[in-house]
Chains A and B, each alone.
Chain A
Amino acid sequence: MDMAAKFQDQLVFHMTGRRAGEGLAPVDAEAMRPALFAGYRDLTRLRHDFPLVLIETGKADGFAASLSLLVNRVLEALAPRGIEGERLRKHVLRLEREVRAMLGSGRAGTLSELWEEAAAKLGSGPDESVAKVLALAGASLNLDGELADCDERLPERFMVHAWRHVQAQKAALFHGHLDHLKRKLSDILRAAFVHSEAGQQPAALKAAVGGMHAEDFDFSAMSRLVGRNVPLDELPASRRARIERVLGVLRSQRFHAPKLGGASAAYGFLFDNVAGAVAAYRERLPEAVELVKAIAIAELEARNGYDEADHDPFFEAYGEGSLSADDLALLPDYLVCIPADRNDAPENAGLMDTLSSGLPVKVVVQVTDLLEEASLGTGHFAFGVRSARLATTAMGLGGMFVLQAAASSLYRLRNRVEGGMGCRGPALFSIFAGSPAAAGSLPRYLTAAAAMESRAFPAFVYDAAAGDNWATRFSLEHNRDPETDWPVEPFEYADAGLQRVREEVAFTYADFAMCDRRNAEHFAVAPRERWTAAMVPAAQWLALAERDAAERVPYLLAVDANDVLHRVVIDARMMQATRRCLLLWHRLQEHGGIHDSHAERLLARERAAWEAKKAEEIEALRKSAGSVAQPANEGAPAPVAAAPAAPAEAAAAEEVKPPSDDPWIETARCPSCNECQLINPQMFGYNDNKQAFIKDVNAGTYRQLVEAAEACQVAIIHPGKPKNPAEPGLDELMKRAEAFN
């Protein structure tokens, strides 16, 4: 078959999406996967971030840890280096694989439960020491928690756990502070009681001494004695009422669950729809205002700083409108975890309004299907836009925290998740949980990771509180190779002659789309004998000029169930979607300061200006080199240079102040040395900066003015002319004053 015919089939498929003739085979979506996935057949044998241990609150620093990481720590601590530790390492790693397999088969439970179970299974062989070794390793884990694999429930479990972790820290701080305040207020009341008449009654004194020595005292006598000697110090009624009211509010608060039991009385803050959370927030608002007020009053009372005249009107006027995000930060945040199938439900319609209103609500939106049927069906090919739209739109609202990520990278982003849960104000987390079962048999961990790597669902964080510009607020750093169009991986395979071939392979949007069986029609497998030079990898094809692209066909590398490498031709509609995905990615890159078009334009302009300037300079140099032989003009520029100096001199002359005949002081130059003050403190005064001025010229004589001028170390006193012509010795004084006027 000639080259042209081979290529013709592929071109027809690319243009129309129809396989004509026998040259191209359909893609078997169950068996075929992107070539870069060849190494990820069995995830249970692969040590990766999952499963995670959702650490029980208060047991360790973080709230989640990867099982592999924990196992590594155990091995580092227990297994000696070299061959002695090898046995332990082997057994524990087998156990890790076993736990992974158990989770994969649908088993659930805590780390300790599954560890025990797996240890029992592996230890049941003839070698008894295995069970012992594994139990020992299990005991040194030192933490426990539910195990979570990267499945459809992961986003919710992970985010709710992170939220609980943050709220528990917040509650601990809150309770510590509240207990301190309650104690301080109780102390005030207690002290008042001790000093009151009631407190000095025999019964009260007896109670104060306690049971052991109660018989040793005559409390009636003690009461008389105490009553006589201690001045009564009554707490003002208004203060007592205020303290008691505040104590009441602090004791009955229902926002943070009490430390010791009674959690049922506290409010719940976990919701599955936006409307419910908003309604609860509104309902509790008056109570929240009272609590915030009570805490502020208690703080002022505790430092004895409550001033009724100043503070009463302030707190009276303090209402729902006065509550700020900082005040609300004391109370728990609301968490709305919207189930994947309820994203479009009417009760969540107000999501954007809620976020933009600044309520302290954290919303988790789960995206399960980036390649929805609806957008395919209409022929309007716009994959991913709907789901990705939410987080990018929320960023535009400004003062909030937005995180978008695939479930597979949640663990790596755990610090940012924790930061978002702990931020003041609203936060939105948009999480892609991996493609649904309808899409194919690939594990969710892989499809989630593929979505992120292929830029179909890039990870980004926007944290309004991190700074005042985009560069500090927005981050794309959690994506692979954020500065390139597609991430590129080295890929090695054996060719037909069993020789090693190494290629750099880009992972594009089309690779991700191929993982979904519903897209099978957009791909066709080209048999090896039909490979032609006109076939171009998809990433390169996108970079071609339009005319060149029309003569070539894009393909991607895929492997089948037997790990045989194929080239898969992609049709034009899929390439259009890939191009669109790339455009959206470019927009995000610009936000992240990568290939910023404004900056690049500015740079180009500056460079052009610089080059032009340099060219001029070179030209000028060349000319002057040519004119060295003619020194005739040398004197000419001098008058031009001298001309601008004249106005400056004029300005200098203006500054010397020749006022009337009144005396004056150059106050700004006064070094505060007291000389003039010593002569006449009524006549000379100091201003706010302790520099002298003439306070009252009539408060002294002209002689004193002249003497002050003479005494002044920095000669800034100008005596002017005498006011009183009758003052004796004026002629001589005026002569002395001349030097200073």
Chain B
Amino acid sequence: MTMATPLSQCIIKLHEERHDLEDYQGGVPRWCSGCGDNAILAAVQRLCRDENLAPERTVFVSGIGCSSRFPHYMKTYGFHGIHGRAFPIAQGVKMARPDLHVFVNTGDGDCCSIGAAHWIHAIRYNMNLTVILHDNHVYGLTKKQASPTSPVGLKSNTTPRGSVLEALNPLTVTLGVQNVSFVAQAVDWIPELMYDIVSKAFHHRGFSFIRVIQRCPEFLPKMFEPWLHDPAKTLLLTHESGLQPSADLGRIYRNQRAHDPLDIHKAREIASEEDPIPVGILYRNPEVPCYEDLRGAGKPRTVEAVRKGLDAEFDKFTIWPGEQGQSRAA
């Protein structure tokens, strides 16, 4: 942007555009009815509205899977990438245009299976991205196959006699990688906390990783029933610098624990608990440097920067006002 005096900035701000929730709604979601992805979409759209994110400055990048249809349903920029490669694409976007808000939507297959190598290194790079792992414990798009996070014994089309391997825990993996700076867990059926966590992740500068435990009503309809109907099976992590659930929610979910998000050892301990499901900010360390800062990404190639550069080039050939050019025009 060219330089602007405080007065005109103030006037421009007065007439700045505000957006409603609908302004961020792209196509009609094709997810199955009852799918937990809808809850994530609602929380993210709410965040965009509340932060007044300019749609033209916001990008959603995804890989392949049910979750990765996310960019289609956001009326912002989006990149529906190739399988497992959401992270490198998002990192590239961020490197070239650090001024954009970049989100990554990935699934348990996309992130933890085919994209695992990219995932590990994206954590280590700690670039300023908001990452949402839609973890429904199953491959839904290919009609029920076991995923890395499927529990032992899950019968699926690829594991007809039940899966034999222990499920991979995305939280402990993330917390085990160098330079990890933000790890949180949400569940799709507590929308208030989902919004709070997404918002905290967005405001964290660095690689903010949220694992959302998400229902798949089509292929694993009963999987989370016990957690849905018994609030005691959810453990809320509270802290003055983490989540502070409302009084109403606190009355329902009484199983709470104060946890300082700076304590990585405690965070690793909590991350390995599966029942009750911990929900909240496990780890947050704002001091971890971002790759784009370390590398000094240089000048962002924003539209304004490009225009400014072009203007500067044109100015070399400009007939300056007040000289002969101007008198001819008048």
Contact = CB atoms under 8 A, between A and B. Distances in A.
Interface of A: 173, 177, 179-180, 182-183, 185-186, 189-190, 193, 207, 247, 251, 292-293, 295-296, 299-300, 302-303, 305, 307, 310-311, 314, 324, 326-327, 329-330, 651-652, 655, 668-675, 678, 688-691, 711, 713-715
Given A690-B42, A714-B189, A186 B11 contact: no
B34 interface: yes
A186 B46 CA distance: 44
B189 A296 contact: no
Contacts, number: 125
B7 A296 contact: yes
Contacts of B29: 674
A240 to B, nearest CB: 11
Nearest to A176: B3
Tell me if B's interface is mostly helix, strand, loop or mixed: helix
Contact of A670 (B191, B325, B326): B191
B4 A299 contact: yes
Contacts of A673: 33-36, 38-39, 217
Contacts of A180: 2-3, 311
A327 B5 contact: yes
A668 B191 contact: yes
26 contacts: A173-B3, A177-B3, A180-B2, A180-B3, A180-B311, A182-B321, A183-B321, A247-B321, A251-B322, A293-B7, A295-B7, A296-B5, A296-B7, A299-B4, A302-B2, A305-B12, A326-B6, A327-B6, A652-B251, A668-B191, A668-B248, A689-B42, A689-B46, A713-B217, A713-B228, A715-B228
Nearest to B252: A655
Interface residues of B, number: 49
A299 B1 CA distance: 11
B328 interface: yes
Given A324-B6, A668-B192, A311 B11 contact: yes
A713 B228 CA distance: 9
B275 interface: no
Given A689-B21, A689-B42, A715-B229, A671 B191 contact: yes
Given A186-B326, A189-B329, A299-B4, A674 B33 contact: yes
B318 interface: yes
A678 B38 CA distance: 13
A302 B3 CA distance: 11
A678 B28 CA distance: 13
Residue among B190, B311, B318, B329 with the highest chain A CB neighbour number at 10 A: B329
A655 B38 contact: no
A690 B49 CA distance: 12
Nearest to B328: A207
B330 interface: yes
A670 B38 CA distance: 10
A207 B329 CA distance: 11
B215 interface: yes
Nearest to A301: B8
Given A655-B251, A691-B191, A671 B39 contact: yes
Contacts of B328: 207
Contact of B15 (A182, A302, A310): A310
B240 interface: no
B135 interface: no
Interface of B: 2-8, 11-12, 14-15, 21, 29, 33-36, 38-39, 41-42, 45-46, 188-192, 194-195, 215, 217, 228-229, 248-249, 251-252, 311, 315, 318, 320-322, 325-326, 328-330
A690 B21 contact: yes
Nearest to B46: A689
Nearest to A258: B322
Contacts of A327: 5-7
Q: List the 8 shortest-distance A-B pairs measured between CB atoms, nearest first.
A: A671-B39, A672-B42, A326-B6, A690-B42, A299-B8, A296-B7, A296-B8, A190-B329
Contacts of A300: 8, 11-12
Contacts of A671: 36, 38-39, 42, 188-189, 191, 194
Main secondary structure on chain A at its contact with chain B?
A: helix
B171 to A, nearest CB: 21
A398 to B, nearest CB: 21
B245 to A, nearest CB: 11
Given A193-B329, A690-B46, A183 B315 contact: yes
A711 B217 CA distance: 10
Contact of B330 (A189, A292, A675): A189
Contacts of B41: 672
A388 B161 CA distance: 90
A691 B215 CA distance: 17
Nearest to A329: B6
Contacts of B330: 189, 193
A674 B34 contact: yes
Given A183-B318, A674-B29, A713-B189, 12 more contacts: A185-B321, A295-B5, A295-B8, A310-B15, A655-B251, A669-B189, A671-B189, A688-B21, A689-B42, A690-B42, A690-B45, A713-B217
Contacts of B8: 295-296, 299-300
Given A672-B42, A688-B21, A713-B217, A307 B15 contact: yes
Given A652-B251, A669-B191, A690-B46, A678 B33 contact: yes
A179 B251 CA distance: 63
Contacts of A296: 5, 7-8, 11
Contacts of A713: 34, 189, 215, 217, 228
Nearest to B251: A655
Nearest to B250: A655
Contacts of A652: 251
B137 to A, nearest CB: 15
A690 B38 CA distance: 10
A295 B9 CA distance: 11
A303 B3 CA distance: 12
A332 to B, nearest CB: 15
A565 B35 CA distance: 94
A295 B2 CA distance: 13
B17 to A, nearest CB: 12
A651 B45 contact: no
Contacts of A177: 3
A177 B4 CA distance: 9
A201 to B, nearest CB: 12
Contacts of A688: 21
A177 B42 CA distance: 44
A260 to B, nearest CB: 10
Contacts of B329: 186, 189-190, 193
B39 A672 contact: yes
Contact of B228 (A186, A299, A655, A714): A714
A186 B42 CA distance: 48
B47 to A, nearest CB: 11
Contacts of B188: 671
Nearest to B254: A652
B321 A186 contact: yes
Nearest to B3: A177
B42 A691 contact: yes
A465 to B, nearest CB: 15
A311 B320 CA distance: 29
A182 B330 CA distance: 14
Contact of A672 (B4, B12, B38): B38
A179 B321 CA distance: 8
Contacts of A302: 2
Contacts of B252: 655
Contacts of B215: 713
Nearest to B195: A689
A255 B326 CA distance: 23
Contacts of A714: 189, 228
Contacts of A186: 321, 325-326, 329
A254 to B, nearest CB: 15
A179 B320 contact: yes
* Residue from A324, A330, A671 having most chain B Cβ neighbours under 10 A: A671
